[in-house]
Amino acid sequence: MIISFGNIKGGVGKTTTTAVLAHLLTNSTYDKKILCIDFSPQGDLSSILLNTYEYTGDESHTISDVLFNDIEVDDAIQVLTDNLHLIPGDWELVNFNKNAITSYNKDYQKSLLKSVLNSVESVYDFILIDTSTDMGLILDNALIASDGVIINSKPSAFRANEHNKIC
């Protein structure tokens, strides 16, 4: 099953939830096999997981390389533990729209990630995709690749002030 964590509002806990859920699901109680995909240009999920698991392997390719630079998906997977794998994100994801439009025809631009994940989906119990606040084709790709989406939210009071008046 493929699940995205999505909300175009930032700072609501998407990345933290993705990392914690991956960590919990791969522990000995649940023993699930998880692939995390960092689909955010900031690479926060990659940082959290690489730090947490003290990954010392070779620097690998990113999801951008898989989608736009002809890198095979297996060559971009970092094995953090037997059960927890990661495809990192990188800053090049800010150019997702431009890269998708120049590299692929219109019918295919929204399903690039889905087609890549088809080949590895059966290996994992869950694939967890951390998204960013970016809209457009990058979000379309995450949602179309997913069976479901978890929408984090963070309630806060609306406060009127001098910059925020109705008359």
Stretch that binds ligand ADP, among 11-19, 57-65, 66-74, 89-97 (CB under 6 A): 11-19
Residue 15 binding Mg ion, by CB under 5 A: yes
Residue 146 binding Mg ion, by CB under 5 A: no
Residue 23 binding ligand ADP, by CB under 6 A: no
**Count of positions (residues) in the chain:** 167
The footprint of ligand ADP on residues 44-83 (CB under 6 A) is 44
Q: How many CB atoms lie within 10 A of CB 82?
A: 9
By beta-carbon proximity to ligand ADP, the closer residue of 50 and 73 is: 50
Q: How many CB atoms lie within 10 A of CB 88?
A: 24
What is the rounded distance in angstroms from the CA atom of residue 101 to the CA atom of residue 155?
36
**Partner whose footprint covers residue 12, from ligand ADP, Mg ion, none (CB < 5 to 8 Å by kind):** ligand ADP
Stretch that binds ligand ADP, among 9-17, 67-75, 81-89, 100-108 (CB under 6 A): 9-17
Residue 111 binding ligand ADP, by CB under 6 A: no
What is the rounded distance in angstroms from the CA atom of residue 116 to the CA atom of residue 72?
9
In the sheet where 84-87 sits, what is the strand order?
A: 78-79, 84-87, 34-39, 126-131, 2-5, 148-150
Q: Using CB under 6 A as the criterion, which residues of the chain lie in contact with ligand ADP when the complex forms?
A: 10-16, 44, 152
